[in-house]
Amino acid sequence: MINIVFCIDDNFTSHCGVLMTSICENKGNENIHFHILIDTIKMSNEKLLTRIAKKYSQLITYYKVDHQKLENCPIRKDDHVSIAAYFRILIPLIIPDSVDKVLYLDCDIVVLSDLDDFWNTDIKNKAVGVVPDMFSQDIRVFNRLDYEMHLGYFNSGVLLMNLDYWRANNLSIRILNYIDKNPDKLIYWDQDALNYVLRNEKMNMPLRYNVQEGFYWQDPFLAKKYWQEMFKAAENPVILHYTGIIKPWYKECKHPKRDLYLKYLYLSPWHNSKIKHVKFKLRIRFLVRDLLILMGFMSNRSLYR
């Protein structure tokens, strides 16, 4: 049984449903138990998520998160995330002790192959199995967080979590304490805190288990030694993670594999949803950027291959 955790509020319910649909459509031999940590969610949306699990004969459980434990976690005025971004820190404290391992996934993801091999990876002596972040070779990240670059920086959207290890080593409390003492260092919210606290307690996994937008850029930030694996993973992802600002549910999205999100959207209960525009200010920002690039006044490292 693969235990998969999502952390959502009402705004991300449909994307969670698309992700669940992609997982079930590509399920291997292992059955799935979906664990959903929620903030506010309409009963109608909860029923739709439950319908997906029942359609594919999989299990689903909901957990209401107590915000009080996260009162010192910073959310800035213009941040595009909610307090739900920090819920994953509480997973070992909320999921029953009988569950010793979970796979946490962000909801801007689709799964394109079965997760059995990933799930069955032995991480008993580590806190998490992780994939390097697409900016993991940026020295500014390590200068800001004040630890050595050779220890690496991972993307927290895909975490194979050893809950027994987390509980035995009090990791949730250690991470919350770090956030409380270092709010000014945190640009990428809990991801920064997870990377600092777990810098010596993680296992790196193949790139195909968290294929990020930067893996498709003409000028990626990953070191050249990763490029051969990166190109292969980008061509055939197991887990495809839409890490860009403009997600595939917006008309302005130009991600080369955007259609894969739409495929599972149309198989989900939200198949009649309209694809919307990004917010007006963001549209203007990107129009100005594209114009400056066209005129040669600005280079764009993130052009797709």
Question: Which tens digits make up the pLDDT trace of 155-166?
Answer: 999 999 999 999
Q: Tell which residue, 77, 62, 213, 244, has the closest CA to residue 134.
A: 213
Model pTM? 0.94
Residues contacting residue 16 through CB under 8 Å, at least 6 positions apart: 6, 8, 36, 49, 107
Q: Which residues pair with 239 in a beta bridge?
A: 111
| pLDDT, tens digit, 9 for 90 and up, residues 219-236 | 898 889 999 999 999 999
Three-class SS of residue 266? helix
How far is residue 20 from each of residues 33, 75, 132, 199, 243, measured CA to CA in Å?
Answer: 11, 27, 24, 30, 18
- Tokens representing 246? 């403009």
Q: Residue 106: CA atoms inside 13 Å, Cβ hemisphere, count? A: 23
Report how far residue 198's alpha carbon sits from residue 189's, in angstroms, rounded to the nearest whole number. Answer: 15
Other beta carbons less than 10 A from residue 53's beta carbon: 18
Chain centre to alpha carbon of residue 188 = 12
- Distance (Å, rounded) from C-alpha 8 to C-alpha 15? 9
Per-residue pLDDT of 179-188, as tens digits, reads 989 988 888 8
Query: Residue 77 pLDDT > 60, yes or no?
Result: no
DSSP strand pairing (101-105 vs 154-162): antiparallel
